[in-house]
Each structure stands twice: as structure tokens, then as C-alpha cells.
Amino acid sequence: MTAHDDLHRRLLDWFAVEARDLPWRRDTSGWSVLVSEVMLQQTPVSRVLPVYEAWMRRWPTPAALAADSPGDAVRAWGRLGYPRRALRLHQAAVAITERHGGEVPDEHAALLALPGVGEYTAAAVASFAFGQRHAVMDTNVRRVFARVVEGQAFPAPSVTAAERAMATSLLPEHDAHRWAAATMELGAVVCSARSPRCDACPVADLCRWRAAGYPEHDGPPRRGQAWHGTDRQVRGRLMAVLRESEGPVPKAALDAAWEDAQQRERCLDSLVADGLVDPVGDGAYALPGHGP
């Protein structure tokens, strides 16, 4: 028996009863988990669900997506935000098809070598799809560990070596993939950033933050993400015009999407630089692969 056995048992028992019924928990294939993890980055489950389900119907395998253009992926991404994720998924699908015979690899190093797949996503796919033992550290998991183990309201802005070592030391010998999912679920539905529901928490009496009287966050200020008037909003407006067209869009249609010409041109240039938009001649623009 280890010092963490009670924590493990309580969270795993809670998860067995309270886990949300999500499609990527029913279909735990490598492709299903990879698509869901990329979509869920900085995006809530409620917004991801309809896009994920439509995506998987259209592209049930990496090879199916790789056979279509990157512009098709960007269009199907819809309004999820951060559309470069759609390009990365397409690039990953091409790499999986060419390097791995169309099957998502089960080795962490091979996952990490895929385009657009970082440490978190590689660990998540290896864990949730293939049952391996990895520290899966998304925002929710990090917040749970900061509060329950460290007694702090929030973790550091980015993962530290000490934090990763702590998370690794907490991994149970068995069911590490379920432990990862359980801690993630707890952070998502109970131990939320703004309104934690300690009355519903299965480990409330083990939580050091609660025991300390919920001390205020004393690290760098946590800033919310602005939207109105930002380049992100402008890029979103321009992408919406392009997604709604089946082919190239004249520059005038993009000009009408945002009044500030200097900001609009800067954002259009950045979309081209990111590979999300292709200039196609005669002053027109299109999603990648959708030009004349």
C-alpha cells in the first residue's frame, strides 16, 4: 500500500459512477482520441461534440482525411477557433497514412513525432487509446493537483519539471489511464477554476487547499482571453467568409468583413503565413487546396 492509495481509490470509484458519456470514451481508437484531444485544446466539450461527431462520420480514419484537402479540414472545423489545429490534424493524418500504414502509432515517441502533436497530446493518446502509463497534464489535471496535493489555488502558467515529477509520482501502478481520465474529469466538472464544488468532491477532506482555508492565488495574474476587437476576432471573421464559399473569394468580400483596413490586412497576411489561406491570383483568396 502506498500513501496515495486512498486518493487513487476514491477518484477511480467516483469516476466509475460520475464519468460523462462522451463519444471518445466509447470509441477509444487512436484516431478517435487524437481527433478529440486536438479539438478539446482550449475549447469546451459542449462546442466540440457536434464538430467531432460530424468529423468522425466524414473521416473515420486518418487515410480518409489525408485523401481530402487541408481546406476541407479547415472548413469542417467551423467555428471551433484556433483553426491551425485543423491543419495540424490534416498533416498528422497524412503522416500516419504515409509512415504508419494508416494506423495511429501506439508508441509515445512515434506519436510525438507526428506534425502538431506535443507532449500533452502524445501522452493523452498513449494513455486513453492504448492504456499506457503516462502523466497526462492538461489544465484541469494541473489545477486538481495544485489544489489537492500542493495546497495552491492554481498551478504555474506552464508545466515545470517539479510539477511533472510530482504528477508522475502520483501515477498508480495499475489503471493509470483511468486515473488520468478521472483527474481530468474532476477538474472539468467539480474542481473548476472559478466555482469549485467542494461539496461534490470525493477527495475534499484530502485537499490541502481546502484545509488551508482556500488561500488566494499569489502567482502571476491570470488574465482572461480578450476577444472583441482583437486580431483573433478579425481572423475569425475572414475565415468565416472563406468557409462559406465553395471556391475563391474576391478581395472585396474580405474587405467587407472588417472595417479597420490596417488590422484586416495584417490578419489576412498572418492567415496566409499560417497556411490557412491561399492567394489564388486576380486578388482572390481561398482555403488551402480550394483554388482554381
Same-domain pairing of 197 and 274: no
Helix (H) or strand (E) holding 136: none
Edge-to-edge strands of the sheet including 249-250? 249-250, 284-286, 278-279
| The pLDDT of residue 178 | 97
Same domain, 82 and 172: no
Return d(Cα 85, Cα 40) in angstroms, integer: 10
Give a three-class secondary structure readout of 70-113. Answer: HHHHHHHHCCCCCCHHHHHHHHHHHHHHHHCCCCCCCCHHHHHC
pLDDT at 292: 65
Domain containing 186 equals 139-211
Question: What pLDDT is recorded for position 290?
Answer: 74
pLDDT at 42: 87
Q: What one-letter code names the amino acid at 34?
A: L
Pairing, β 249-250 against β 284-286:
antiparallel
Q: What is the pLDDT of residue 4?
A: 86
- Give tens-digit pLDDT for 145-180: 999 999 999 999 889 999 999 999 999 999 999 999
* Shared domain check, 143 and 122: no
The residues annotated with a catalytic role in the active site are 37
pLDDT value of residue 50: 97
Does some domain include residue 1? no
pLDDT at residue 232, as a whole number: 86
In a domain, 220, yes or no: no
247 and 161 in a common domain: no
Q: Which of 90, 109, 128 is the last residue of a domain?
A: 128
**pLDDT under 70: residue ranges of the chain:** 1-3, 219-225, 227, 291-292
pTM over 0.75: yes
